[in-house]
Structure 1
């Protein structure tokens, strides 16, 4: 998602522009095991600041994730907000190269005065994905012995044998429940 910001960079500080974002799923490659399903819609606002642009906005998208408990793939709708700084690599008026910025969390405005929001949006989406994705909040997961999906019902496995060192604790818990 590339925007030409030459006119905005020539504007006084505080000037801005608002744009609608419509990104095709092929344009945003999240990760090897994560993918976007369908188009990405959103809104982007750019503001001219002292050394470049402040870009913020939101995107709505659907990702395909794998449940951490039952390992089934499921679709997860997401609303992701982002805010990033973009600094020019060349002066917009003279075309002379500018010294590079020593900060890691900034994105460049290229020599053609274009801003590519794809990487900023990709990073925001990756940060918004849950650490432990679940297909549903009460997902029962898989049986540790046979691998049966416990969301479909109980399996035929017997209770695993308790380590003999923990049998005293098991008796204590049973006594506590009965009293």
Structure 2
């Protein structure tokens, strides 16, 4: 979804719609509720969106679906405002800054980026997920592992008594 910058009214623009993002993990249209304001060449986008995601549990490796709600607050500046291409250390207050060129701004790229950044590093199907057995590969959420109990090294037998 492309936004024509010159067509943003002075009083701003409210955008309430749904779009389809092409991504392996996004399985539903993304519901968007954004406020877009323009001050000279600066464009401010604030709002929320939600999407249904298909993820793989990091413990049991099963796929699961999750509804994700994301808040966005980004300020766009024209690419011409970058004075030099020298190395620049990003400050904490610049993390919500991005740049655009021309008269178009691709909102779908922003949405896809924000959704992918909000996917957890280790997604879990459930906080209580038991995962899989490292010995036989059984899904411990649905099966009892048939692996023999590990024998304790006799040198550490005394330490195991502390756990009881």
Q: Does the alignment pair 1:20 with 2:16?
A: yes
> Retained in 2: the 8 A contact 1:84–1:120?
no
Q: Partner of 2:60: helix, strand, or coil? A: coil
- 1:49/1:144 Cα in 2 relative to 1: closer, same or farther (>3 Å)? same
Partner Cα distance (1:149, 1:2) in 2: 45
Q: Point out where structure 1 has 5 or more consecutive residues left out of the alignment.
A: 90-97, 175-179
Aligned to 2:82: 100
CA shift, 1:49, in A, is 3.1
CA RMSD of aligned residues (A): 2.2
**Over residues 79-101 of structure 1, what are the superposed CA-to-partner deviations in whole Å (9 max), with x where a residue is unaligned?**
11111111235xxxxxxxx4436
Matched ranges for 1:12-161 at <5 A? 15-26=11-22, 29=23, 34-49=24-39, 51-89=41-79, 98-100=80-82, 105=95, 106-111=97-102, 113-161=103-151
Q: Partner of 1:35: helix, strand, or coil? A: coil
Q: TM-score, normalised by structure 1?
A: 0.76
Deviates more, 1:160-169 or 1:100-109: 100-109
Aligned to 1:2: 2
Structure with bigger gyration radius:
1
Q: Partner of 2:116: helix, strand, or coil? A: helix
Partner Cα distance (2:66, 2:46) in 1: 23
Aligned length: 155
CA shift, 1:50, in A, is 5.5
Q: Point out where structure 2 has 5 or more consecutive residues left out of the alignment.
A: none
Partner Cα distance (2:81, 2:25) in 1: 37
Q: Partner of 2:123: helix, strand, or coil? A: coil
Q: TM-score, normalised by structure 2?
A: 0.82
